Copies of this chain bind each other. A is one copy, B any other.
Amino acid sequence: MKYSQATDYALHAMLYLVAAAPDKPVGVQLLAEKLGVSQTYLSKMMTKLVKAGLIQSAPGANGGYRLRRKQEDISFLDIIHAIEGTASFFECSLNHDNECVIQKVVLDAERQMEQYLQNKKISELAEHFKGR
């Protein structure tokens, strides 16, 4: 079980937006260059982030992406969910009547992880990121 590389890229892109956070929006071209990934591919993830309401996009010259919310309000979980979706890690495939005790345990475990990721904001890492 692994998070997709798309999530990796999205997290880095968001971190860049927060760290470099200028008034000017930053385009996918620059982002892609920084991350070492193709523009067209990265743009797909950026669009997901837009649809999730995390960032704003503007077409045209001097367009690009900028944060929509305050940076302190953007958590790791927000970004991960925007890319990976919100489906849970585990779904019991057996058809025992309704509630599967095993599934319950795994979902509780997942909740532990998600709670951690929700409390962790990217803004906390912005300092570290300066100069990359």
Copies in the complex: 2
Instruction: Tell me whether A105 and B84 are in contact (CB under 8 A).
Output: no
Answer whether A94 and B35 are a contact pair too, CB < 8 Å, given A11-B102, A125-B102: yes
Please encode chain A, from 80 to 103, with 1 for each CB lying within 8 Å of some chain B CB and 0 for all others: 000010010111111110000110
Instruction: Tell me whether B128 and A101 are in contact (CB under 8 A).
Output: yes
Instruction: Tell me whether A101 and B129 are in contact (CB under 8 A).
Output: yes
Least Cβ–Cβ distance between A103 and chain B, in angstroms: 8
Instruction: Tell me whether B12 and A89 are in contact (CB under 8 A).
Output: no
Instruction: Tell me whether B116 and A109 are in contact (CB under 8 A).
Output: yes
10 A-B contacts (beta carbon < 8 Å): A1-B2, A2-B87, A2-B90, A7-B90, A8-B91, A76-B105, A76-B109, A101-B125, A112-B115, A113-B113
